Amino acid sequence: MAGAYEPKVIGFCCHYCAYSAADLAGSMRLEYAPNVRIVKLMCTGTVDTLHLLKAFEDGADAVFVAG
């Protein structure tokens, strides 16, 4: 095996809650794994399950919704 396995993670985050926390972590120069991608939403209540399934279809290993 060439390297360690790193899962691709997609996070759907609320603009006012979870995304603000991730932005604050960046301002404090904290780092999170480069295999995590964050999608900013106005509200996590607007997430359609088809968007979550599409993320899996496009190669994501894990998907989470944070609000």
Per-residue pLDDT of 11-43, as tens digits, reads: 999 888 887 777 777 778 777 788 999 898 998
- Residue 3: band (very low, low, confident or very high) from pLDDT cuts 50, 70, 90: confident
- Provide the percentage of residues in the chain whose pLDDT is more than 70: 97
Q: Structure tokens of 63? A: 């998907």
Residue 17 is which amino acid?
C
